Each structure stands twice: as C-alpha cells, then as structure tokens.
Amino acid sequence: MSVLQNALDAGKFGVTAEMAPPKGCDFSAQLDAAALLAGKVHAVNVTDMQSASLKASSLGLCIHLKQAGLEPILQITGRDRNRMGILGDVLSAASFGIDTILALTGDHPVVGDCPESKPVYDLDSVGILKMLAKMQQTGCDCGGNELTGPAPKLYMGASVTPLYEPLFLQINKLRQKVDSGAMYIQTQGIFDLDMFRRFLDEVDKAGIRTHIMAGVIPLKAAGMARYMNENVPGIAVPQAMIDRLAAEGERGKELGVKGLPAKLGIEMAAEMIAKIKDEKLCDGVHIMAIGAERNIPAILEKAGVTAE
Amino acid sequence: MIITQKKPVEELMGLLGEAKRVAIIGCGSCATACHTGGDPEIAELKTYLEAHGKTVVATAVADYCCMNLGVKGKVKPLMAAQPDCIVCMSCGDGVQCVANNASVPVYPSNNTMFLGEAVRFGQWEEACHLCGNCVLGQTGGICPIAHCAKSLVNGPCGGQKNGKCEVNPENDCAWILIYKRLEALGQLDKLAQTREDKGYRDVSYPRTVSLRGKKS
C-alpha cells in the first residue's frame, strides 16, 4: 500500500519532494540526491518531462528509486502518450510496486525543448484519473477488456494552481479531479500564505474533501524569483521576498561569500513549511527544489518536520 | 469556411516543372473569399505564368471546387484545351475533386489552413476541428477542441497567464472565454457537468457521411 496514503490517511503531516530524471542515461546524480531523502520524506515525485523538456522517462527513475528503497510517485501527463501508452506504463509501474501516481495534463511541447513533437492529449488529467479509477473498479483496460489478474490498487493524486483568475475554473476542475479519483492534491508553489488561505477557503466552500499538500519552491536567488514571476503561470513571489534575496546577494558580494541568497531561500522555505504545519493549514507539503534536492533535508530540519 | 493561404509562387513553379501548357481553375466560394482562388487571383497567376515561359491554355471558376458534379462540367473544357497540367486555386478538397476529374496532374496553388471564420476583412480565425461530436452546446458556443491548444474538454490547464495561452500568448485561453460566455448567459452550472469521454473510435480517417445509408 502507498506509503503516502498511509501517512495522509493516518492524519500525519505528509512530506513529498520532487525530482527530474536526467537528460541522459546516467541516473547516478538523482540516486545520490535520493539517498539523502530516504526516511525524510514519504515519497518522491518523479516528473514526466516537466516543462515539456526531454528527459529519461518518469517510470525509469521511479524503478531506480523503488529499488533503492524510496517511495516514488509516478507523474503521468497526457502530452506524450495516448490512453494505451499511459495504462501500459501504469501496469509496468505496478509490477515494480509503484502504486502512487500523480495525473497531469502536461505542458505543451511548443513551450519545451523538442517543439516539433506532436502533442497527444488523448486524455487530460481528469481523463487519466477516470480511466485509472475505472480500471480499478472493473479490472478492465481502457477498451473494456479484462486484465489478466487483479487490477493494481493505486493511490492517485492531481495538482492544482491556487493562484488563478478566475479561481472558479480551478476549483471546478479540482472538483472534477477529486470526483474522478484523485485522493491527494499537490499545489503549484505557494509564496503567499494569505492567498493560499483564501484558496483553501474556496475549496472548503465548494465542499471538496481531499488531502491538500502545499507546493513549496525554495528560492535560490532574486533572479530566479523574478524569472518565475515572469514565466511560470500561477507563481507570484512577493516583492518583499525578492528584495530580501537581492539584499542577501549584495551582502554576499561585499563579503566575497557565495550562496547567501540560496541559504536565505532555505530559511524562507523552512519558515513557510513550519507555518503551514503549525497552523494546520493543510495536510502536508510538496517540496520542488528544482535541481537542489540536496537542500531538502536541511529545509525539513529547520522546519522541524519529519516524515513520521 | 475553409481558410487557405497562397503557397510561395516558387514552390508552385517547382511543382509545374517542365510543364508548358497550364490550365487554371479557381473556386467561387471559400478561396474567393480568402483572396486565394477568385477571378483576380486567377488573372494574377496567369500573368505571372506567362511572364515565366508558360502558356495558360484555359481558365475556369467552379462555384464550389468541392462539389464533384459541378467540377466535372468545369474540368471538361479545361481538358479540351489540352493542358500539360492544371493548377487548382482552392482548398485541398477542391484540388482532390478536380484531380479526380482530370487526366493530367493537378497542382495546388494554396495551403489549406483550417476551418474558421472571417473575423473582420482580411482576418480569419480557426474555429472548428471537425471532431464529429459537437460539444458547443455545453461550452457557450466556443469550441475548446479548436480554441484550446491542448483541445482540453474538462476545463483549463494551469498554463494561462493574464487570460492568455502559454502556447501562444496572442491567443486567449479558451476556457476563460468559455467561462465568461457561460457566466454572461447564466449557464455556469454547465461547467460543473461532467463530460463523458467521447474517445477517438469514430474519428478514424477517412470519414464518410451518406444520406443513402452507405458509401456509394
């Protein structure tokens, strides 16, 4: 049974991290970083060519992580595979004991690094969840044909973008995701807890009951924050945070010390996580370190959070 | 309307190759409206070809290049002029229809872009993907298949910024347009309705519609 499901269903504060497979076939850097996360997080999301940038497949790194004793979350988008491709990958994953998945629609190839690629989108996030829920209910594949042996039991999740105008559309889609079988929800990166509280209120008002894990992106520098504000939909780093990072960068320059903004970013992420946990805002956090997974243990330690 | 754009004339000349005697057929409907296959464009192409060593032996305009019976009558006199080839100034369907009725090569002068509408003079926008299972009744008369870059049917992805699509920031997010339209119509409840997956079984090409009950 899914480790994440065990934790969330038992009312524990869920902790997940996120990791991308390499753009190549040497997985050693990922496995080294993953070793640092063992025992510190409930599960590790493995991205499915995030930002439509070509990487080794999610399933590959999931298998590596599982064999290294970690609990992977298989991220699946509808961008590159039709329903048959998706179901085939889920069955293969299940054969390795990978039973926790996150269904996403996927960024369009045009915004990625192989823009000639044909977008598939046979199913979107809701469609993927519906197909996998039906498989579990009926024991049949996407064509209604019986599987040999029992269908795998999956713990399915989805994502949501809390900073969205009109929010009605995100709440409406969130409802569809939950109705279609999503049992946990990871959010886009949160930087403004007031905004996040308003979002959670709307989720409550809509009567949507699910486990929500707040997305946390540790910032490395003011430039990174500005870049994300410009380019990543649903991300808005408050100016005060950017100013603090910039000031820390200046201080580092004067002292001749590198990495001060990243250290501050770790502090800020830890503060945010501690607040979310102490105020019981939601059921857990999902840390997207974007290549700096090595910092996650320090963030969790400073936040006083362990994967119970 | 089927929206067409002229191919670069160099590409067309490459298709014509060594052919000397050329017949031209235009289309009186969509291509005329798109300024890619009406009388003025036929005259323009005729002048160009004759200035580049070709002889235009005959020209014609079919009311609709996509209607076999009408096209047959228009192609006959073209063939009587003994062309080496025919240039068809219509959509891709018109070219095929003309080719089915001619015994010489038929070359397209246009690229066929999409099914859309004339938003204003000289500007056309894609509006329908001919998916074969219309959802417009649930989406306020705005097609998510054609207007959303991912053809999403269950609502938007997270990829819009200020109401614009991440794929092409010149385009509005289809689902925000749908939301605004439904809100104005007092039909936001339609967004809460779940949509059955319609699948792609019925979209295996080529499709046929026949009032006679079977493909003739």
The residue with tokens 């002048």 is: B47
pLDDT digits (tens, 9 = 90+) for A156-215: 999 999 999 999 999 999 999 999 999 999 999 999 999 999 999 999 999 999 999 999
Q: Cβ separation of B152 and A166 shorter than 8 Å?
A: no
Phi first, then psi: give them for residue A76, nearest 5 degrees. -130, 125
B167 touches chain A (CB under 8 A): yes
Integer Cα distance of A90 and A103 in angstroms: 11
Mean pLDDT value across residues A239-250: 96
Reduce the DSSP state of residue A70 to 3 states and report it: coil
Residue entry with tokens 């004067």:
A254
Q: How far is A233 from chain B (nearest CA, A)?
A: 5
The answer to whether the CB atoms of B154 and A166 lie below 8 A apart is no
C-beta separation of A135 from A151 below 8 A: yes
Structure letter (DSSP) for residue B196: P
Strands (E), chain A: 14-19, 43-46, 72-77, 100-104, 155-160, 184-189, 211-216, 284-287
Bridge partners, residue B88, by sequence: B25, B108
The verdict on a CB contact (< 8 Å) between A233 and B158 is yes
| Residue A206 structure tokens | 């809509």
Full strand arrangement of the beta sheet holding B55-62? B55-62, B21-27, B85-89, B106-108
CB contact B204 to A (< 8 Å): no
Question: Please, are residues B61 and B90 in contact by the beta-carbon 8 Å criterion?
Answer: no
Could you tell me if residue A192 is left (phi over 0), alpha (psi between -120 and 50 degrees) or otherwise beta?
beta
Quote the pLDDT of residue A273. Answer: 97
Q: What is the mean pLDDT of residues A240-247?
A: 96
Of A83, A86, A13, nearest in space to A48 by CA: A86
For residue B154, the chain A residues in CB contact (below 8 A) are 124-127, 173, 176
* Whole-number pLDDT of residue B204: 86
pLDDT tens readout for residues B178-201: 999 999 999 999 998 877 888 888
Torsion (CA) A293, A78, A151, A59 in degrees, nearest 10: -40
Alpha helices in B110-173 (DSSP H): 144-147
pLDDT of residue A269: 97
What residue ranges of chain B have pLDDT lower than 50? none
DSSP helix/strand/coil, A169:
helix
pLDDT of the residue at B215 = 63
Alpha helices in A113-235 (DSSP H): 125-138, 167-179, 193-205, 222-231
C-alpha–C-alpha distance, residues A192 and A214, integer Å: 11
Percent of chain A with pLDDT over 90: 97
Nearest to B151 among A107, A121, A160 (CB): A121
Long-range Cβ pairs for the range B44-50 (8 Å, 24+): B45/B87, B45/B89, B45/B109, B48/B9, B49/B16, B49/B22
The pTM of the full predicted model, rounded to 2 decimals, is: 0.94
**Beta-carbon contacts below 8 Å between A and B:** 72
pLDDT for B192:
87
**pLDDT attached to residue B216:** 54
**What confidence category does residue A131 fall into, taking pLDDT thresholds of 50, 70 and 90?**
very high
A161-190 in b/e form (b: 16+ CB < 10 A) is bbbbeebbbbbbbbbbbbebbbbbbbbbbb
**CB–CB of B176 and A110 under 8 A?**
no
Q: What is the pLDDT of residue A101?
A: 98
Q: CB–CB of B197 and A169 under 8 A?
A: no
- When pLDDT is cut at 50, 70 and 90, the band that residue A291 belongs to is confident
